[in-house]
Chains A and B, each alone.
Chain A
Amino acid sequence: DVKVTQSSRYLVKRTGEKVFLECVQDMDHENMFWYRQDPGLGLRLIYFSYDVKMKEKGDIPEGYSVSREKKERFSLILESASTNQTSMYLCASRATGRRDQPQHFGDGTRLSIL
């Protein structure tokens, strides 16, 4: 079974802090994704990466950056946290190849910015 692990289930930070959310997958997947999920808005893609050191902006990249130094790890960075970044953050990974390959999700990090 694919295992996608997010470092924290719950996190509380203060406005202006630099925040790191970590995600690790154990299936040697090329592709990794960061989403945020908000009530009434669904899952929205922030950034994704299709290879080490490669990154692509998703639909809502403003206020975020990412890092992919190793294949198994994809980090989401909030450079200067703001209250509107309070949300559930979900990481996912996917193998390249067959088009029916689904994305596999971690359990999520519920981030509160005070």
Chain B
Amino acid sequence: GQNIDQPTEMTATEGAIVQINCTYQTSGFNGLFWYQQHAGEAPTFLSYNVLDGLEEKGRFSSFLSRSKGYSYLLLKELQMKDSASYLCATREGNNRLAFGKGNQVVVIP
């Protein structure tokens, strides 16, 4: 099974950088996904990591350390529209995802 831990909420200022952490314990790690979910909407895919290191995609970057069971999502140049919940999910085997409870990011002017 999988055990995924994320902090619940953080507040940050527009233009700032915020780092969202995710730690996991899994019996069969096969990749880690980050999703963004605005209130009342579907989760949308942000990034995927399976090897150690940093993956950069515009303002968003995601890091993975498999030996530490740790990932983070870095949001740069924060915008008001980045206010959302950020979900970390690990894949076990071929198909199933196990989601963390999500981290609510509130961006203030």
Residues of A that sit less than 8 Å from B by CB: 4, 31, 35, 40-45, 48, 50, 58, 90, 94, 99-100, 102-108
A42 touches B102 (CB 8 A): yes
29 examples of A-B residue contacts, CB within 8 angstroms? A4-B42, A31-B95, A35-B99, A40-B101, A42-B101, A43-B43, A43-B87, A43-B89, A44-B99, A45-B98, A48-B95, A58-B96, A90-B42, A90-B43, A99-B30, A99-B94, A100-B31, A100-B48, A102-B45, A103-B33, A103-B45, A103-B97, A104-B45, A105-B44, A106-B42, A107-B41, A108-B40, A108-B41, A108-B42
Given A99-B30, A99-B91, CB of A43 within 8 Å of CB of B99: yes
Main secondary structure of the interface of B (DSSP, over half): strand
**B42 and A99 contacting across the interface, CB-CB below 8 Å:** no
Counting chain B CB atoms within 10 Å of each CB, the highest count among A4, A50, A90, A102 belongs to: A102
Indicate whether A50 sits within 8 Å of B102 (C-beta atoms), given known contacts A43-B87, A105-B43.
no
Count residues of chain B with CB under 8 A from any CB of chain A.
24
Interface string of B74-109 (1 = CB under 8 A from A): 000000000000010101001111111110000000
Contacts of B54 in A (CB 8 A): none
Interface string of B33-57 (1 = CB under 8 A from A): 1010000111111001010000000
Top 8 nearest A-B pairs (CB, nearest first) are A42-B101, A102-B45, A105-B42, A43-B99, A100-B48, A105-B43, A107-B42, A42-B99
Q: How far is the CA of A103 from the CA of B100 in the complex (A)?
A: 15
In the complex where A40-B101, A42-B99, A45-B96 touch, is A102 in contact with B41 (Cβ < 8 A)?
no
Q: A40-B101, A42-B100, A58-B96 are in contact. List 10 more A-B contacts (CB 8 A).
A: A35-B99, A42-B87, A48-B95, A50-B95, A99-B30, A99-B31, A100-B50, A102-B33, A105-B42, A107-B42
